[in-house]
Amino acid sequence: MTALSRNPSTVTHRLGDEWLMAYAAGALSEGQSLLVATHLSFLDDAAERLAVAEAAGGALLETISPDLMAPDALAQTLARLNAPLPATPAPAPQVAGADLLPAPLRDWLGGGVDDLKWSFLGPGMKKVKLWRGGPNDQRLWMLRAQPGIQVPKHGHRGTELVLVLKGSFSDPHGRFCAGDVEESDDNRMHALGIDEGEECICLALTEGPIRFESWPARMIQPFIGL
Ligand code: ZN
């Protein structure tokens, strides 16, 4: 059995400050907030980064002309910035176990990965849909793939965030291990190769249907609903 977490300082692909600013300001959707909170639980400096993001958000606010904003927008934003920061996520448990998830995700799910209703996604791949909403038809779901599996080449209609919870995958943009987030946009096609050695479990947030390149993958897309 392997832990779903690793030494927090080894997380190399981190979400950008713009995500933390939006998170601190309460401007993210439920699905986005959950992914950001889960990512932060892998970092040992999450509290400091959030504090910096909040300060940066305040400084940015000062550069916006009040004339360009709705009458109560400034007051509302200031109220949000003055509100307490979202609770700093607890560090992910470091104990080995097959069913460990970082606290924010585990609490939201109300259980572990083996309690979820996984369904077929493709050879060696399973998925579970968790949430849909927010602007741009956001979908939060999880991928569970066997070692060595190739996720077909695809693009995106908007932003795609993939947070690794367990195992690792590689694509032309790097190797992504537990705690890492890959951010892709609509200009970026990629195929993911699950690394050998252990299964890979990811939390993904996509906007609109994923655009697969090959016709077999496109054919089955209506049935997988992602
Ligand atoms: Zn992708």
Domains of the chain (ranges; CATH) run 10-82 (1.10.10.1320), 103-224 (2.60.120.10)
Q: What is the pLDDT along the chain (226 residues), one digit of tens a residue?
A: 444 555 545 799 999 988 998 998 889 999 999 999 999 999 988 888 888 888 877 776 666 555 544 555 545 555 655 555 555 555 544 443 446 799 999 999 999 999 999 999 889 999 999 999 989 999 999 999 999 999 988 888 888 999 999 999 999 999 999 999 999 987 788 899 999 999 999 999 999 777 777 777 776 676 666 7
Burial (CB count within 10 angstroms: exposed 0-12, middle 13-18, buried 19+), residue 116: middle
Question: Tokens 């003055």 appear where?
Answer: 82
What's the CA angle centered on 224, arms 223 and 226, to 5 degrees? 125
Whole-angstrom Cα distance, residue 71 to residue 61? Answer: 15
Whole-angstrom Cα distance, residue 124 to residue 148? Answer: 9
Q: What is the pLDDT of residue 149?
A: 95
Distance 160 CA to ligand 1 centre (A): 6
Q: What is the pLDDT of residue 95?
A: 41
Distance 149 CA to ligand 1 centre (A): 15
Which residues surround the ion ligand 1 when the cut-off is CB under 5 Å? Answer: 160, 184
Distance 155 CA to ligand 1 centre (A): 6
Q: What is the pLDDT of residue 94?
A: 45
β-strand partners of 183: 161
155 and 188 in contact (C-beta within 8 Å)?
A: yes
2 and 96 in contact (C-beta within 8 Å)?
A: yes
Distance 25 CA to ligand 1 centre (A): 27
Strands (E), the chain: 119-122, 125-133, 138-145, 150-155, 160-166, 168-171, 174-177, 181-184, 190-194, 200-207, 211-212
Whole-angstrom Cα distance, residue 217 to residue 109? Answer: 29
Six token digits for residue 91:
């560090």
Q: What is the pLDDT of residue 96?
A: 37
User: Is the model's pTM score more than 0.85?
Assistant: no
**Closest C-alpha to 226, from 102, 68, 119:** 119
Q: What is the pLDDT of residue 145?
A: 97
Q: How many Cβ atoms sit within 10 Å of the Cβ of residue 133?
A: 11
